[in-house]
Structure 1
């Protein structure tokens, strides 16, 4: 198992009080944790890259725990999540795809019984590249009130030989959601969709 070389962690928390409407009883938090890591495949083609997913698992768990702590420390308050990765210019999109499994399963493990697939995105980008991380409800992907996204990036990352791996969590729906659809209170929890 290879050791992951982390250059830095960046944590961001947005507290959303309102969006042109009346303030809700409680503000909503949207948080992200990003890790800038060395890409062991940068600059060359490697056929068998799947073992790196296992190497990333401890980092995923550490990041998920950091994010829960940044959002108040209670897994019960987390209602939405998403993930993504930006790979530097000497890497390939498939390297970013290796984060899907360890990032998603880490959040589901830390949150306990989350049933929905963790939405994700990935890209190749240079220094300061930004990425929109999609967010859905942790137990039912069809809950429209929790469809959200965070635009994220780090000014000095990723360098050509690096990757930025990202996790996002939220403590509730969009502040003034009124687009209808399945409500969180109506989740059946059978398949991660409804």
Structure 2
């Protein structure tokens, strides 16, 4: 991709059949894609980093499409999403924040009419750092059954001068979700919250 130096990607898909109770009629599928890229701002302070978000947009779209394919190819099966970034030690937390717009934009574009804010997390860390990427329902952040997280990480990434950017998608609520709150079938769909 123009303007980006990609070193590697890691795709992870898991199926959850039960969490100690009866097997689900349809297993929950969760997928994460981590892309390790060179951090163009590593080792120095750059006051104007915002233009790099445009450079990241094609990567976000490519990653979002790949996640949908990993979950069967139909965007309609995706009910949850989240994003995150791990910045290598020569970078700063704000470099991870550059992923907010391209990651969220990409999933909304690929999934269609998703209304909820895409939850996010970021941190600075060395190779092997793990990140718990938060997940919420794509149309209403208050749908408690879809509050989740998926742990990601790559043993040799990020190097000090790299960033690992992450997208996560899921196909449904936590298996055996039963703590109440707004149900997915009661979403009003007006504000991305309820």
TM over 0.5, shorter chain: yes
Write the distance in 2 (CA, Å) between the matches of 1:141 and 1:172. 14
Q: Deviations over 1:71-94 (max 9, x none)?
A: 111100000000000000000000
Cα RMSD (Å): 0.9
Alignment partner of 1:136: what SS? strand
Write the distance in 2 (CA, Å) between the matches of 1:15 and 1:24. 11
TM-score of the superposed pair, with normalisation by structure 2: 0.99
Q: Extract structure 1 runs of 4+ deviating beyond 3 A.
A: none
1:101 and 2:101 correspond:
yes
Write the distance in 1 (CA, Å) between the matches of 2:17 and 2:48. 47
Paired position in structure 1 for 2:126:
126
1:160 and 2:160 correspond:
yes
Paired position in structure 1 for 2:17:
17
Paired position in structure 2 for 1:35:
35
TM-score of the superposed pair, with normalisation by structure 1: 0.99
Alignment partner of 1:10: what SS? strand
1:53 and 2:53 correspond:
yes
1:2 and 1:52 in contact (8 A); partners too: no
Write the distance in 2 (CA, Å) between the matches of 1:32 and 1:148. 13
Number of paired residues?
194
Alignment partner of 1:72: what SS? coil
Paired position in structure 2 for 1:91:
91
- Which consecutive unaligned segments of at least 5 residues does structure 1 have? none
The structural deviation recorded for 1:2 is 5.8
Write the distance in 2 (CA, Å) between the matches of 1:37 and 1:118. 21
- Which consecutive unaligned segments of at least 5 residues does structure 2 have? none
Q: Deviations over 1:142-167 (max 9, x none)?
A: 00000000011000100000000000
